[in-house]
Each structure stands twice: as C-alpha cells, then as structure tokens.
Amino acid sequence: MTMTEIRIPVKIKYAEDFRRIYATGALGGFNGFDFRVSFFNDIVNHPEEPTQPPTVTREIKVEVILTPVALKQLTKWLNQHLNELEKIIGEIKDQYPPQPSQRKEPHSGYYV
C-alpha cells in the first residue's frame, strides 16, 4: 500500500503581541532538551574622557527556544537563503573573531 501525500493548507496569522526586532548578533546553545538562541544588539559607549577606550553594551532583545526538529528546519531555511544571497552579493565575511566558550561548567550544554 502506498501513502498518498496530502497537502494541508496553513494559514499565517500574527499574534496580537507580535513584535519585530533588529539584531546585530546571536548567541546560545543546547541544554540537553532544546536549543536556545538569544538575539542582541551591540551598543558602543564612548566615554567622556578621550583617553579611555570605548566600551560595548550587549543588549539581549529576545530569546527563542527551539525543538531539535525546529532547529534543523530553521538551519536548512537559513542556509538556503544565505546561499541565495551570497550568489547575488558575494561572500559575507564574519565580522566577529571566534570567541572561546565562556561556560563555567563544561558539560552544562547551554552557554552564553
């Protein structure tokens, strides 16, 4: 017996509390149950004293919690669109150097 593919229409509806944010970066990790990613904006703070270096405030805007299946689907979707974008504008260079893990507990799974 063969399975017949059934297409179920999906209606898109924005929640009443829907909001859109702009993010300059993301961080997060897997905690053994789900994947958490926080989106942030970096704000450069210039001191009044010109001899002092500027500092950066990393303001976390929102955290998204994903199941492993949702993470896989999101990764495929992002990679597809990133590849299409880079075909148009060329390779996008990462602006941030690789950061060592800041986890205090090496086996905690979740990191920031």
The answer to the question of residue 83 being in a domain is yes
pLDDT of residue 61: 96
Contact between 23 and 39 (Cβ < 8 Å): yes
pLDDT of residue 94: 82
Could you read off the pLDDT of 85-111 as tens digits, one per residue? Answer: 999 999 999 876 666 665 454 444 444
The answer to the question of residue 42 being in a domain is yes
Could you read off the pLDDT of 6-20 as tens digits, one per residue? Answer: 999 999 999 999 999
Could you read off the pLDDT of 29-81 as tens digits, one per residue? Answer: 999 999 999 999 999 999 999 899 999 999 999 999 999 999 999 999 999 99
**CA-based nearest residue to 27, from 38, 18, 43:** 38
DSSP of 72-112, one letter per residue? HHHHHHHHHHHHHHHHHH-PPPP-S-------SSTT-----
Total structural domains within the chain? 1
Give the range of the structural domain holding residue 69, as residue numbers without chain letter: 25-89
The answer to the question of residue 106 being in a domain is no
Gap between the Cα atoms of 54 and 46, Å rounded: 5
